[in-house]
């Protein structure tokens, strides 16, 4: 049984909308008031310092003689966090604006998954891939954490689409 291209495109968009709804439901309905991990705190600190104009730097350790291990971070994700307003305060849990922005980015990722499968294998594969991407648990819950994977996975998928189109030419 084949699916006509127009219907497949609509179903892929519908899967992205369902993906958005699931990500928002998880983030705002279940993942509430969870303490930040070390990595999440570092990303938010970098976003705060970028917002305050201090640059891409960590805060000084609060207690003398105590040094928490700090890791080098790529600047793209903290800039994204600063852009969505996550650098405007001190947070103990994932800010709502981060959950919202990453849920939108995640639903765009679902659409890209469907588009890649559609272009490479056909309409049925595009619909199936988008449907799986919409409900796949790690892709749903990652949007509620302050982790760079929520942004970079979608950027990687967008890179695949751009490269694929360039190769077609």
Q: For each successive 10 residues of the chain (169 residues), what is the average pLDDT?
A: 90 98 97 91 94 88 58 88 94 96 98 97 97 98 96 97 93
**Cβ neighbours of residue 56 under 8 Å, at least 6 residues apart?**
46, 49, 50, 75, 78
**9 vs 147: CA distance, rounded Å:** 30
Tokens of 153: 């996975």
* Angle in degrees, CA 81, 83, 89, rounded to 5: 60
- 51: exposed, middle or buried (C-beta count within 10 Å: 0-12, 13-18, 19+)? middle
Tokens of 32: 């509430």
- Tokens 């595009």 sit at which residue? 126
**131 vs 108: CA distance, rounded Å:** 13
In this predicted structure, what is the pLDDT of residue 80? 97
Q: Running DSSP on this structure, what letter comes out for residue 59?
A: P
In this predicted structure, what is the pLDDT of residue 97? 97
**Cβ neighbours of residue 8 under 8 Å, at least 6 residues apart?**
118, 123, 124, 126, 127
**Cβ neighbours of residue 83 under 8 Å, at least 6 residues apart?**
none
pTM, two decimals, is: 0.91
3-state secondary structure at position 141: helix
Q: Do the Cβ atoms of 48 and 58 come closer than 8 Å?
A: no
In this predicted structure, what is the pLDDT of residue 2? 78
In this predicted structure, what is the pLDDT of residue 68? 61
């Amino acid at each position: 049984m084949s699916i006509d291209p127009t219907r497949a495109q609509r179903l892929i968009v519908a899967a992205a909308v369902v993906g958005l709804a699931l990500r928002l439901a998880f983030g705002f309905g279940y993942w509430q008031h969870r303490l930040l991990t070390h990595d999440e705190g570092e990303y938010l600190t970098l976003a705060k310092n970028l917002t305050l104009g201090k640059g891409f730097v960590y805060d000084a350790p609060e207690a003398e003689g105590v040094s928490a291990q700090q890791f080098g971070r790529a600047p793209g994700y903290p800039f994204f966090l600063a852009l969505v307003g996550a650098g405007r305060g001190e947070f103990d849990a994932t800010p709502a604006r981060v959950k919202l922005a990453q849920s939108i980015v995640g639903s765009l990722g679902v659409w890209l998954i469907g588009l890649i499968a559609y272009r490479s294998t056909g309409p049925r594969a595009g619909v199936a891939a988008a449907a799986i991407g919409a409900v796949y648990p790690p892709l749903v819950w990652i949007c509620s954490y302050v982790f760079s994977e929520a942004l970079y996975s979608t950027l990687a998928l967008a890179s695949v689409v751009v490269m694929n189109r360039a190769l077609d030419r």
